[in-house]
């Protein structure tokens, strides 16, 4: 047998390598793992390792972090999904503490067995009330990722079809793969392309699930839900919308982009994530009761995972209550104003793509810049998220600024200033 020769040899600078180079097996000797370890040591030696840097307190607009070297930085945060500031809201924390005292630290069991508490049922009821539709139910998951993986793989069976927007989150893709259904992709937000895909499928005899998102986290743009729903229903497809980045934020009442684009009564399944605007952790399916009851039994990521933490669940109930009232209405207006303000500072100077939401990308291109750029931004005073291949297309790496309702104009000005300085230094200013 001929020995494989595609093993990466680590020499020179850490910027000569990208993470995808170590993501494939190169044989039984685990060479890619050893080479990754060597590469990481190079990054650490250059004091440029910025992943998994511990935060020293709650995810507020101003945070402190500590690197492996012991260095501490006070930063303005644009890296957190805490869109409405509920992760540290005093009323949310008080509700979580109350639930902690009553139910203990963890659920200590699967939801179907012994892990369901009354606080879980309360959250389910509150979500149903929030959306205001009859005969609907909620299925809770311990993560948003688990919700997508579990729902799709429970609903779709071998021989069925899953049709995905090309910009779909990894959890939607992984759920489709786990389902063993036949997978098709359509160009991002391209309704005409979607129809061409659906026409090719055996839509008269097979189950089809079309998956899209309310707000896409890589580009910060809205899904064309109205167009996608119309075409999908024409071919008898079921529609799932992932509202991870838009639930509680989009729509007049916070019911997501489905509400904003007036398709709430036409969408079959909505996925929500509690780790973003709710400020906690977990996820859910909102759908007709017959669907949620079925998913409760057949979603493997739910059946074989511990139930949602009851203390966190208590906080989620309070966050939902706040978001449904005056506090939520005020924060939804402020986050839109803040996002528009930051975009106005960056438009025409750097490539911010098609963003229209509170996620503002700045595209810098070459993924080899990621770690030096991340290091620079941190040293200049901002905490921010960077994405590179394979999470985004090759040479379309980007900085993602997550704007919140809690940012001040001064903080937004500082963020824009640092981003533009970085663009000049790393040569991605627009000409």
For residue 190, is pLDDT > 90?
yes
Contact call for residues 317 and 95 (beta carbons, < 8 A)? yes
pLDDT tens-digit series, residues 17-70: 777 778 777 777 788 888 888 888 888 888 888 888 999 999 999 999 998 888
Q: Residue 286's beta-bridge partner residues?
A: 138, 270
Please tell me the distance from the alpha carbon of residue 233 to that of residue 227, in angstroms, as a whole number.
10
Please tell me the distance from the alpha carbon of residue 342 to that of residue 416, in angstroms, as a whole number.
7
Q: What is the mean pLDDT of the chain?
A: 93
Closest CA to 399 of 381, 422, 380, 417: 422
Contact call for residues 198 and 176 (beta carbons, < 8 A)? no
How much is the pTM?
Answer: 0.93
pLDDT tens-digit series, residues 314-332: 999 999 999 999 999 999 9
Kindly state the tokens that stand for 367: 């993924």
Q: What is the pLDDT of residue 297?
A: 95
Angle at 373 between CA 372 and CA 374, to 5 degrees: 95
Residues recorded for the chain:
431
Q: What is the pLDDT of residue 25?
A: 77
Task: State the number of CA atoms in the 13 A half-sphere of 192 facing the CB.
Answer: 0
Name the residue with tokens 């070459």: 366
Kindly state the tokens that stand for 103: 């139910």
Domains detected in the chain: 62-86+329-425 (3.90.1150.10), 90-323 (3.40.640.10)
Q: What is the pLDDT of residue 301?
A: 95
Closest CA to 332 of 390, 210, 247: 247
Kindly state the tokens that stand for 56: 């020293």
Q: Collapsing DSSP states into helix, strand and coil, what is residue 371?
A: helix
For residue 7, is pLDDT > 60?
no
pLDDT tens-digit series, residues 139-157: 999 999 999 999 999 999 9
- 75-89, 120-134, 381-395, 410-424: the lowest-pLDDT one: 381-395
Angle at 279 between CA 100 and CA 154, to 5 degrees: 90
pLDDT band at 8; cut points 50, 70, 90: low
118-131 burial, b at 16+ Cβ within 10 Å, e below that, comes to: ebbeebbebbbebb
Kindly state the tokens that stand for 287: 């759908």
Kindly state the average pLDDT of the residues 172-194.
95
Torsion angles phi and psi, residue 211, rounded to 5: -115, 135
Q: Residue 365's beta-bridge partner residues?
A: 397
pLDDT band at 3; cut points 50, 70, 90: very low
């Amino acid at each position: 047998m001929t020995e494989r020769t595609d093993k990466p040899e680590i020499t020179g600078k850490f910027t000569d390598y990208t993470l995808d180079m170590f993501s494939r097996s190169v044989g039984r000797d685990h060479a890619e793992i050893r080479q990754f370890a060597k590469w990481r040591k190079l990054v650490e030696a250059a004091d440029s390792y910025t992943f998994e840097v511990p935060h020293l307190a709650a995810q507020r607009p101003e945070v402190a972090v500590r690197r492996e070297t012991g260095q501490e930085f006070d930063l303005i945060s644009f890296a957190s999904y805490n869109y409405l500031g509920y992760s540290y809201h005093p009323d949310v924390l008080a509700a979580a503490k109350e639930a902690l005292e009553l139910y203990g630290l963890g659920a200590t069991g699967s939801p179907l067995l012994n892990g369901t508490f009354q606080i879980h049922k309360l959250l389910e009821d509150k979500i149903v009330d929030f959306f205001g539709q009859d005969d609907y139910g909620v299925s809770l998951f311990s993560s948003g990722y688990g919700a997508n993986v579990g729902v799709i793989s429970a609903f779709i069976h071998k021989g069925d079809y899953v049709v995905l927007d090309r910009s779909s989150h990894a959890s939607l893709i992984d759920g489709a793969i786990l389902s063993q259904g036949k997978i098709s992709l359509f160009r991002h937000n391209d309704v005409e392309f979607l129809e061409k895909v659906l026409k090719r499928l055996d839509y008269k005899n097979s189950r089809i699930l079309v998956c899209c998102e309310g707000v896409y986290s890589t580009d910060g743009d809205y899904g064309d839900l109205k167009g996608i729903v119309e075409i999908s229903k024409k071919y008898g497809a079921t529609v799932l919308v992932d509202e991870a980045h838009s639930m509680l934020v989009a729509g007049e009442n916070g019911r997501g982009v489905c509400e904003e684009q007036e398709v709430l009564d036409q969408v079959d399944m909505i996925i929500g994530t509690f780790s973003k605007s709710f400020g906690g952790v977990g996820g859910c399916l909102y759908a007709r009761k017959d669907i949620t009851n079925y998913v409760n039994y057949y979603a493997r990521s739910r059946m074989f995972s511990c139930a949602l933490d009851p203390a966190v669940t208590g906080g989620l109930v309070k966050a939902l209550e706040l978001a449904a009232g005056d506090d939520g209405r005020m924060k939804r207006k402020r986050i839109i104003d803040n996002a528009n303000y930051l975009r106005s500072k960056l438009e025409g100077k750097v490539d911010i793509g098609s963003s229209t939401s509170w996620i503002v990308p700045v595209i810098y291109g070459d993924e080899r810049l990621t770690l030096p750029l991340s290091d620079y931004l941190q040293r200049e005073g901002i905490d921010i998220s960077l994405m590179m291949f394979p999470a985004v297309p090759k040479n379309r790496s980007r900085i993602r600024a997550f704007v919140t309702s809690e940012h001040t104009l001064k903080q937004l000005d500082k963020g824009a200033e640092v981003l533009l300085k970085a663009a000049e230094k790393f040569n991605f200013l627009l000409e």
